[in-house]
């Protein structure tokens, strides 16, 4: 992976040094890792800041990119777990055994702030791309004057909906959880219900604190970096720029930075031998199935359904008559339905992790049952695979509205209410086996749905190619970092570091450097998601 044209051709100055720091959980760290490699491929000098456990998970693709000549590395920080009262060695949100540990984990993540500040002071940067849920990264080392760009973690449609709900609170004016209300000020007439709203936007929630944090991030950021592309939500990209007064750089789908080799096969699980064996097992099984005959089922790294819902899902898949790959995220879930007996030869159960991007690209996959996390949405879009949406929490119901209502690349599975993260484990049966079977059969047989998803997939791939909207957005952000006022006239950047070295020497030096010192309006009815 050699640098593509952008800043790489400017031989009289060093490439801009960018830091990328995600919240430590796969749904945030994976796309941020892709993002860092994407910018490195365009000539930037990229440092990905992770906890040690996530560095081990994501290190393989970064090491290969560095070996190929890109200016990229990982800086590992030690999570201050003991100081936060967090025991058990948990360094990623998906590794927490229960939601009761979410509070100590959040405190431990906040305690990374002084470590990141120290890193910036010892190894200054020209810009920081920070996770939008890490507001302290936007204000670390303010004396350095480093511009900060917020990586939103979701798309501009969901961000626009959330912002409107927090500012205008239309949800406070309805009498029941199922009464629709209009979200004001959006390009489309979006109607929601309280049963699907974010925890922070529900009446009685401490939404003012959340709103203040949102505005703090807006004030501190120089712009938004979004894992999206123009043909998916152009009007909402423009809308979010207008309402925040900050530029949006839609650079996705970032998963497309991964080719068809090891980067895709081990994405999210490092070079573990067990992961490689599991990837080979899944892909070998898929290769025995006809084109577009398999439904892939995965609810991300955080969802934990109760046993009765797991059973209904499994039996519904068996009853559908379809081939399926079913990823059960919790390795410790009680015994599953006997899939071999219920669907002999048609079902493959994966406990824990699966190579999702590689699976979605496989010709056998014809639909994707997903919680509609934004990473999953963009990965499905990039692969041109229709979505069967089953939102659970966070912005997932909003993403469903975009996929089903606006983009037309998915259909709903029938989930009508959302949960606070962790609450889904007590929710009982949300979608029964009959509904699962019916919707799976319908999606696999829907030629119009498949055609629309394929069109969006083609547009996603063109967006990241030279001249595409996302390709141009990467260049625009790099130009924004390099514009007058970002780097001083004497050749020093905003950080004060020397920027007069040649690109070739910088590439050679930093590829091997280790600086880890310890560490038309439509009416859409969607209706509860927490953040």
Which of residues 336 and 279 earns the better pLDDT score?
279
User: For residue 237, is pLDDT > 60?
Assistant: yes
Please, what sign has the CA dihedral across residues 129, 130, 132, 138? negative
Burial class (CB in 10 A: 0-12, 13-18, 19+), 424: buried
Evaluate the CA torsion angle 82, 86, 87, 88 in order and state its sign: negative
Judge whether 30 and 36 are in contact, CB under 8 Å.
no
pLDDT single digits (tens) 455-480: 999 999 999 999 999 999 999 999 99
Name the 3-class secondary structure at 389: strand
513 pLDDT band, cuts 50/70/90, is very low
pLDDT at 481: 94
Query: How many other CB atoms sit within 10 Å of the CB of residue 505?
Result: 10
Distance CA 351, CA 329 (A): 6
CATH number of 273-463: 3.40.50.2000
Tell me which range, 6-10, 214-218, 443-447, 479-483, is most confidently predicted by mean pLDDT: 443-447
Query: What is the H or E stretch that residue 149 is in?
Result: strand 148-151
Q: What is the pLDDT of residue 208?
A: 59
Average pLDDT over residues 473-491: 74
Note whether 433 and 315 are within 8 A (CB): yes
Contact between 155 and 399 (Cβ < 8 Å): yes
**Cβ distance 269 to 275 under 8 Å?**
yes
What is the per-residue pLDDT for 5? Answer: 57
Range with top average pLDDT, 69-78, 197-206, 300-309: 69-78
As a whole number of angstroms, the distance between CA 472 and CA 462 comes to: 11
Calpha distance 316→273 (Å, rounded): 33
Dihedral over alpha carbons 340, 277, 371, 100 (to 10 degrees): 100
Beta partners for 484? 487
Buried b (16+ CB within 10 A) or exposed e, 52-63: ebbbbbbbbbbb
End-to-end distance of the chain based on CA atoms, in angstroms?
Answer: 36
CB atoms closer than 10 angstroms to residue 300: 21
Q: State the pLDDT confidence band at 520, using cuts at 50, 70 and 90.
A: very low
Mean pLDDT of the chain: 84
The residues pairing with 271 across neighbouring beta strands, listed in sequence order, are none
Give the pLDDT of residue 486: 59
Domain 17-256+468-482 CATH (choose: 3.40.50.2000, 3.40.50.10800, 3.40.50.150, 3.90.550.10): 3.40.50.2000
Residues 255 and 31: beta-carbon distance below 8 Å? yes
**pLDDT above 50 for 415:** yes
Residue 264 has pLDDT above 90, yes or no: no
DSSP string computed for 392-422:
-STTHHHHHIIIIIII--EEE--------TT
pLDDT tens-digit readout, 136-152: 999 999 999 999 999 98
User: Rounded to an integer, what distance in angstroms lies between the CA atom of residue 36 and that of residue 44?
Assistant: 9
- The predicted model scores a pTM of 0.87
Q: Measured on CA atoms in the order 232, 235, 238, 244, is the torsion positive or negative?
A: negative
What's the farthest any 2 CA atoms get from each other in the chain? Answer: 72
Banded model confidence at residue 7, pLDDT cuts 50, 70, 90: low
Active site residues: 28, 131
Question: What was the pLDDT predicted at 305?
Answer: 84
Which of 60-64, 278-282, 445-449 has the largest mean confidence?
445-449
What is the rounded distance in angstroms from the CA atom of residue 15 to the CA atom of residue 478?
Answer: 9
- Asked whether the predicted pLDDT for residue 529 surpasses 70, the reply is no
Query: Higher pLDDT residue, 171 or 480?
Result: 480
Q: Residue 206's pLDDT band (boundaries 50, 70, 90)?
A: low
212-216, 460-464, 520-524: segment of lowest average pLDDT: 520-524
| Position 11 confidence tier, pLDDT thresholds 50, 70, 90 | low
pLDDT at residue 52 tops 70: yes
Per DSSP, 256 falls in state: G
CATH 3.40.50.2000 domain span(s) along the chain = 17-256+468-482, 273-463
**Range picked from 4-8, 336-340, 458-462 for highest mean pLDDT:** 458-462
Q: What is the mean pLDDT of residues 330-346?
A: 71
Lowest mean pLDDT among 36-45, 55-64, 512-521: 512-521
Residues, the chain = 531
Q: What angle do CA 297, 299, 302 make, to 5 degrees?
A: 155
Residue 373 pLDDT: 92
């Amino acid at each position: 992976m050699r640098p593509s044209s952008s800043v790489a051709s400017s031989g009289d100055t060093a490439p801009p040094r960018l830091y990328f720091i995600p919240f430590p959980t796969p749904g945030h760290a994976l796309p941020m890792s892709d993002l860092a490699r994407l910018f490195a491929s365009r000539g930037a000098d990229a440092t990905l800041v992770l906890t040690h456990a996530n560095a081990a998970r994501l290190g393989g693709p970064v090491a290969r990119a560095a070996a190929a000549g890109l200016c990229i590395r990982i800086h590992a920080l030690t999570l201050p777990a003991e100081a936060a009262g967090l025991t058990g060695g948990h360094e990623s949100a998906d590794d927490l055994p229960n939601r009761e540990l979410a509070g100590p984990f959040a405190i431990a993540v906040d305690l990374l702030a002084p470590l990141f500040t120290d890193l910036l002071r010892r190894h200054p940067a020209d810009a920081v791309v920070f996770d939008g849920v890490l507001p302290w990264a936007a204000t670390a080392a303010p004396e350095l004057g480093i511009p900060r760009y917020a990586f939103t973690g979701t798309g501009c449609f969901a961000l626009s909906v959330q912002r409107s709900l927090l500012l205008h609170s239309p949800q406070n004016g309805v009498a029941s959880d199922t009464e629709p209300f209009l979200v004001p000020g959006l390009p489309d007439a979006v109607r929601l219900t309280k049963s699907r709203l974010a925890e922070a936007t529900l009446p009685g929630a401490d939404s003012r604190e959340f709103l203040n944090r949102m505005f703090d991030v807006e004030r501190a950021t120089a712009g938004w970096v979004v894992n999206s592309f123009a043909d998916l939500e152009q009007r909402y990209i423009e809308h979010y720029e207008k309402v925040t007064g900050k530029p949006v750089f839609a650079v996705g789908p970032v998963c497309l930075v991964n080719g068809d080799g090891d980067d895709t096969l081990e994405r999210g699980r490092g070079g573990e031998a067990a992961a490689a064996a599991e990837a080979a097992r899944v892909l070998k099984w898929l290769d025995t199935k006809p084109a577009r005959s398999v439904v892939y089922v995965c609810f991300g790294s955080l969802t934990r359904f109760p046993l009765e819902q797991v059973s209904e899902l499994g039996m519904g898949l068996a009853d559908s008559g379809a081939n399926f790959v079913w990823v059960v995220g919790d390795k410790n879930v009680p015994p599953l339905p006997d899939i071999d007996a219920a669907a002999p030869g048609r079902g493959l159960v994966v406990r824990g992790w699966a190579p999702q991007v590689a699976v979605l690209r496989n010709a056998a996959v014809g639909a994707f049952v997903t919680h509609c996390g934004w990473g999953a949405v963009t990965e499905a879009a990039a692969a041109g695979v229709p979505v069967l949406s089953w939102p659970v929490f966070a912005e997932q119901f909003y993403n469903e509205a975009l996929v089903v209502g606006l983009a037309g690349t998915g259909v709903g599975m029938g989930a009508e209410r959302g949960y606070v993260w962790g609450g889904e484990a007590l929710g009982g049966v949300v979608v029964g086996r009959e509904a699962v079977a019916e919707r799976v059969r319908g999606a696999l047989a829907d030629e119009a749905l498949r055609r629309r998803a394929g069109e969006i997939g083609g547009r996603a791939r063109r967006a990241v190619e030279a001249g595409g909207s996302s390709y141009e957005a990467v260049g625009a952000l790099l130009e924004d970092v390099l514009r007058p006022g970002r780097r001083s006239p004497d050749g020093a950047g905003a950080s004060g570091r020397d920027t007069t070295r040649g690109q070739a020497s910088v590439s050679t030096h930093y590829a091997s450097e280790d600086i880890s010192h310890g560490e038309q309006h439509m009416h859409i009815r969607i209706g509860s998601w927490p953040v």
